[in-house]
Amino acid sequence: MKFKKMMAGLASGMVFGLALSAGAQAAGYPEKPITAIVPFPAGGSTDQIARAIGPRITQKLGQSWIVENKPGATGAIGAAQVKRSPPDGYTLLVASIGVYSVNPVLQKNLQYDPAKDFDLLTVAVRAPNVLVASPSFPANNVADLVTNLKKNPGKITFANSGAGSSDHLTAALFWQKTGTTGVHVPYKGGAPAITDLLGGHADVSFQNINAVVNHIKTGKLKALAITGDKRSPLLPNVPTLAEAGVKEADVYSWQGIAAPKGLQPDVKTKLHDAIVGALNDPEVKRGLVEQGFEVVANTPEQFTKFQAQELARWKQVITVGKIEVD
């Protein structure tokens, strides 16, 4: 009996000690630099977001914010690395819609599950895509494009940044909603796709607004429609797809921030507050808005619900379109 009581006391003491240790870790957090894994090359939209908020997070938490690019497999390689990292708040994932809500549907043998392997912290920003056309392409609005697609099924090329990317899936959704088909032309990123559009080697594309707005304003690309639920202040004369007659095709690309599953509650709160504070900093927010981003900065609970909704939506588009990637 005494032995059992002694063992119970030891077990209770160990649990209490572990709780104290975890509490102490949370109270002292952060004690070293925080690494933000961006699972894409430097210079893209996700990378821009990670770097834009870094200085303010450093000011808030008193530790460096280091952006590390780990591209490959449409973001899956970097995401899997974050999954395998300790849930101590020192390794985070800054990634886009594809990582959280497309890869789980498209990629076989995916090495992570966004709903089970991460603590989702916040959707940082969102931005509509723009349906753009090469200046030489004979369409000045969505009606012209739909007419051309119906007259030339399977001939008009839609450039995109890669199979399964948001611009690829937006095109697939557009074809489904308009009863048309086009030629899916994947590139190894948005930049080469835009280059071919500018040169007239591709016909049309759905591109992130921040990547093409300057080309539109200088007349190097024609903007036919915005995929958001309202017009963009950057392109106030460009109608939404709904205004152009294509309903239920609102699409936003978005970037979210997550951590390996199992963050201490206090650490999670500190991180969320610092990230949201950085996104809503007047100077940071102004810079993001000028690029076409809309700051979201929502709660972990809202991000979790949104991720599930996006996953269901794109699963339907992928299934109906019979979309596959190698």
pLDDT at 11: 54
Do residues 121 and 259 touch, judged by C-beta distance below 8 A? yes
- Tell me the pLDDT of the chain averaged across its residues: 91
Looking up tokens 């959707």, which residue turns up? 123
- The residue type of 73 is A
> In this predicted structure, which of 5-19, 99-113, 174-188 has the lowest mean pLDDT?
5-19
Helix (H) / strand (E) element for 198: namely: helix 190-198
pLDDT at 103: 93
Do residues 246 and 165 touch, judged by C-beta distance below 8 A? no
Closest-CA residue to 35 (of 303, 260, 209): 260
Whole-angstrom Cα distance, residue 10 to residue 63? 37
Whole-angstrom Cα distance, residue 213 to residue 235? 8
Model pLDDT for residues 220-271, shown as the tens digit of each residue: 999 999 999 999 999 999 999 999 999 999 999 999 999 999 999 999 999 9
Segment 276-297 shows an average pLDDT of 96
What spatial distance separates the first Cα and last Cα of the chain, rounded to whole Å?
A: 63
The proportion of the chain whose per-residue pLDDT surpasses 70, expressed as a percent, equals 92
Q: Is the pLDDT of residue 153 over 70?
A: yes
Whole-angstrom Cα distance, residue 125 to residue 52? 12
Model pLDDT for residues 19-77, shown as the tens digit of each residue: 444 454 567 899 999 999 999 888 888 999 999 999 999 999 999 999 999 998 889 99
The proportion of the chain whose per-residue pLDDT surpasses 90, expressed as a percent, equals 79
pLDDT at 170: 94
Q: What are phi and psi of 161, to 5 degrees?
A: -85, 5
pLDDT at 19: 43
Closest-CA residue to 46 (of 19, 68, 23): 68
Q: Is the pLDDT of residue 114 over 70?
A: yes
Output the six-digit token pair for 282: 């007047």
SS3 for 309?
Answer: helix
Residues near 219 by beta carbon (within 8 Å), at least 6 away in sequence: 135
Q: Is the pLDDT of residue 312 over 50?
A: yes
Do residues 166 and 254 touch, judged by C-beta distance below 8 A? no
Please tell me whether the peptide bond between 30 and the residue prior to it is cis, using omega within 30 degrees of 0.
yes
Segment 180-198 shows an average pLDDT of 89
Q: Is the pLDDT of residue 309 over 60?
A: yes
Whole-angstrom Cα distance, residue 272 to residue 208? 26
Q: Is the pLDDT of residue 321 over 50?
A: yes
> In this predicted structure, which of 77-81, 182-186, 189-193, 244-248 has the lowest mean pLDDT?
189-193
pLDDT at 238: 97
pLDDT at 44: 82
Domains along the chain? 34-126+253-321 (3.40.190.150), 128-226 (3.40.190.10)
* Residue 8 binned pLDDT confidence (cut-offs 50, 70, 90): low
Helix (H) / strand (E) element for 283: namely: helix 282-290
3-class DSSP string for 39-97: CCCCCCHHHHHHHHHHHHHHHHHCCCEEEEECCCHHHHHHHHHHHHCCCCCCEEEEEEH
